[in-house]
Amino acid sequence: SAQEQTLGFQTEVKQLLHLMINSLYSNREIFLRELISNGADACDKLRYRALEDDGLYEGDADLRVEIEFDSEAKTVTVRDNGVGMNREDVIANLGTIARSGTADFLKQLSGEQQKDAKLIGQFGVGFYSGFIVADEVVVRTRLAGTPAEQGVEWRSRGEGEFTVADIERAEHGTEIVLHLKEDALEFADEYRLKSLVRKYSDHIDVPVRMPTVQEGDEETDTTITWETVNEAQALWTRPKSEISEDEYKAFYKHVAHDFSDPLTWSHNRVEGKLEYTSLLYVPSRAPFDLYQREGARGLKLYVQRVFIIDDAEQFLPLYLRFVKGVIDSNDLSLNVSREILQQDPQVEKMKSALTRRALDMLGKLADDSEAYQNFWNQFGSVLKEGPAEDYSNREKIGGLLRFSTTHTDSATQDQSLADYVGRMQEGQKAIYYIIADSFNAARHSPHLEIFRKKGIEVVLLHDRVDEWLMTHLSEFDGHQLTDITRGDLDLGDIDSEEEKQAQQENAKAREGLVERFREALGDQVQEVRVTHRLTQSPACVVLPENEMGYQMRRLMEAAGQ
């Protein structure tokens, strides 16, 4: 056909296809979920664009996804009358992986890791999952609002190449035909397909239909009746009590483009001055681009059920960027844009309410220590950015933090500040901490000697962000947080009177020695002092109270300052 062109998949697509076909074999039914999800997204996009120009519906505003199969031809077809694609879109969307950083991430994977089905969830399996069950995939599509001759056909056997050609296509939207592999013929079956639609796509607000064909005879024509198979109501609009855990989980996978189950969620309808519904989820795995500037973040924004934007970043602070979900506002205007969102005072109010909501959700999750530990291991160091970014919630965030301490003497960060406070000694004035480059460096620091001797617990900080965190978290539950390597250490009432006296006498007796150190070290130090902190090491270096810490210095140096 006209303008046929054969192109190679981007290297990462080839790797991803390989990874997917090998790791998802036992889970291959998910291809249907992914293709329906894309069809529903395409309908959402068309509905949004049609707000400005309802000519884009081309007379067919009845948005839907249709599924058909043909057991003789061994095909399953998923079709939508959504926005569709032009030739450029097809090449960009079905030949590459848009997320930056994917190539680097894939390179880092060892052969062992590549067998892990969960890794694939990092990408959202998406369109390419068709190749788990099909040895050839054919896509026919046309962008809504373009002439019929601008249809495009894409086909591939998933082996490194695909072809695109111009076709004539009367309908806008997209049709995907899967030519099933011999061992996947089970999917060309009405009962199987219907049950998969119910299992995975009930929560999608677009109807998913399947045909029933009544063969005609001499007197009657063959008729096709379409039956809507899924519930077809946006999940967040339904009452909480009527939504099952499985439905919440399935919806998460659609919204977050994730393959794994979420850890927890929080579904709320807010009425009053501002009216909106939010459904927030905590994923169980960090995406590989969590720390990349351009990594995907934000909530899916709807206004009065109409999809508006995929990654609306304005509704949550950066330190909660791992939270996924939906917000559906009744007050915002339907033609709201990212720019407007940035300035809208309503959005600011929603943001602070949603932030509290998200923190409360984490607080509840903390009741389940195993689940919370899972959360912490994935996202803890992001949450540690919180006190710096969100001063007003720092106490709440402080309660959600987990650390290693000398109490457990383990690198696992699983102790809360509340745990620490509960173990504080009589007369102890502060929560003590030390920051080092690694857990072992913290644990073996000579500064700890006096604390170990006196049985006082010390928080052992060893994450890159810890110093940043501690410059913004100076207090918790009324207790000062004190760096044990800085300034003059006052252990308060824990030192007895005799001890204090002995310390003073000791200091006096060593004045001569101190003077010789001062002369020898000269300009290299600000001060030399006799210390009572050490029980085994002869000497240690301390920072003045208000000086920038070692980690921060290194960060600043690395940043060229």
Applying CB under 6 A, the residues found at the interface with ligand ADP are 34, 38-39, 41-42, 80, 82-85, 93-94, 124, 126-127, 174, 257
One character per residue 119-138, x = contact with Mg ion (rule: CB under 5 A): -------x------------
Residues 6+ apart with CB under 8 A from 402: 372, 373, 376, 380, 413, 414, 415, 416
- Of the pair 76, 94, the CB lying nearest ligand ADP is at 94
Residues in the chain: 561
Rounded to a whole number of angstroms, the minimum distance from the CB of residue 93 to ligand ADP is 3
- Closest by Cα among 418, 393, 402 to 466: 402
- Residue 85: name its binding partner from ligand ADP, Mg ion, none (Cβ under 5 to 8 Å by kind): ligand ADP
> What phi and psi, each to the nearest 5 degrees, are found at residue 76?
-125, 135
Distance (Å, whole) CA 48 – CA 71: 36
Of all residues in the shown chain, the one whose CB is closest to ligand ADP is 126
- Residue 93: name its binding partner from Mg ion, ligand ADP, none (Cβ under 5 to 8 Å by kind): ligand ADP
By CB neighbour count within 10 A (0-12 exposed, 13-18 middle, 19+ buried), where does 261 fall? middle
Q: Tell me the three state secondary structure of residue 187.
A: helix
- Of the pair 38, 156, the CB lying nearest ligand ADP is at 38
Query: Can residue 38 be called a binding residue for Mg ion (CB under 5 A)?
Result: yes
- Residue 324: name its binding partner from Mg ion, ligand ADP, none (Cβ under 5 to 8 Å by kind): none
- Of the pair 127, 550, the CB lying nearest ligand ADP is at 127
- Residue 174: name its binding partner from Mg ion, ligand ADP, none (Cβ under 5 to 8 Å by kind): ligand ADP
Rounded to a whole number of angstroms, the minimum distance from the CB of residue 187 to Mg ion is 19
The conformational region for residue 534 under phi > 0 = left, psi -120 to 50 = alpha, else beta, is beta
> Helix, strand, coil % (nearest 5) of the chain?
45, 20, 35
- Of the pair 9, 433, the CB lying nearest Mg ion is at 9
- Residue 320: name its binding partner from ligand ADP, Mg ion, none (Cβ under 5 to 8 Å by kind): none
Radius of gyration of the chain (CA): 30
- Residue 39: name its binding partner from ligand ADP, Mg ion, none (Cβ under 5 to 8 Å by kind): ligand ADP
- Of the pair 140, 533, the CB lying nearest ligand ADP is at 140
- Of the pair 31, 420, the CB lying nearest ligand ADP is at 31
Of all residues in the shown chain, the one whose CB is closest to Mg ion is 126
- Of the pair 38, 482, the CB lying nearest Mg ion is at 38
Rounded to a whole number of angstroms, the minimum distance from the CB of residue 310 to ligand ADP is 9
Q: Tell me the three state secondary structure of residue 20.
A: helix
Total residues at interface with Mg ion (CB under 5 A): 2
Is the distance from CB of 199 to CB of 192 less than 8 angstroms?
no
- Of the pair 41, 457, the CB lying nearest ligand ADP is at 41
Distance (Å, whole) CA 76 – CA 425: 69
H/E stretch holding 103 reads helix 102-108
Rounded to a whole number of angstroms, the minimum distance from the CB of residue 285 to Mg ion is 18
Rounded to a whole number of angstroms, the minimum distance from the CB of residue 78 to ligand ADP is 8
Rounded to a whole number of angstroms, the minimum distance from the CB of residue 257 to Mg ion is 6
Partnered with residue 164 across adjacent β-strands are 5, 154
Distance (Å, whole) CA 203 – CA 390: 34
- Of the pair 126, 287, the CB lying nearest Mg ion is at 126
Q: Tell me the three state secondary structure of residue 434.
A: strand
Is the distance from CB of 124 to CB of 259 less than 8 angstroms?
yes
Rounded to a whole number of angstroms, the minimum distance from the CB of residue 39 to Mg ion is 9
What sign for the dihedral angle of Cα 332, 333, 339, 344?
A: negative
- Residue 158: name its binding partner from Mg ion, ligand ADP, none (Cβ under 5 to 8 Å by kind): none
- Residue 380: name its binding partner from ligand ADP, Mg ion, none (Cβ under 5 to 8 Å by kind): none
- Residue 180: name its binding partner from Mg ion, ligand ADP, none (Cβ under 5 to 8 Å by kind): none
- Closest by Cα among 43, 68, 67 to 144: 43
Query: Can residue 84 be called a binding residue for Mg ion (CB under 5 A)?
Result: no
The DSSP code sequence of 260-320 is SPEEEEEEEEE-SSS-EEEEEEEESS--TTTTSTT---SEEEEETTEEEEEEEGGGS-GGG
Rounded to a whole number of angstroms, the minimum distance from the CB of residue 125 to Mg ion is 8
Query: Can residue 428 be called a binding residue for Mg ion (CB under 5 A)?
Result: no
H/E stretch holding 548 reads none
- Residue 317: name its binding partner from ligand ADP, Mg ion, none (Cβ under 5 to 8 Å by kind): none
Find the farthest-apart pair of alpha carbons in the chain and give their distance in angstroms, rounded.
Answer: 119
Binding site for Mg ion (CB under 5 A): 38, 126
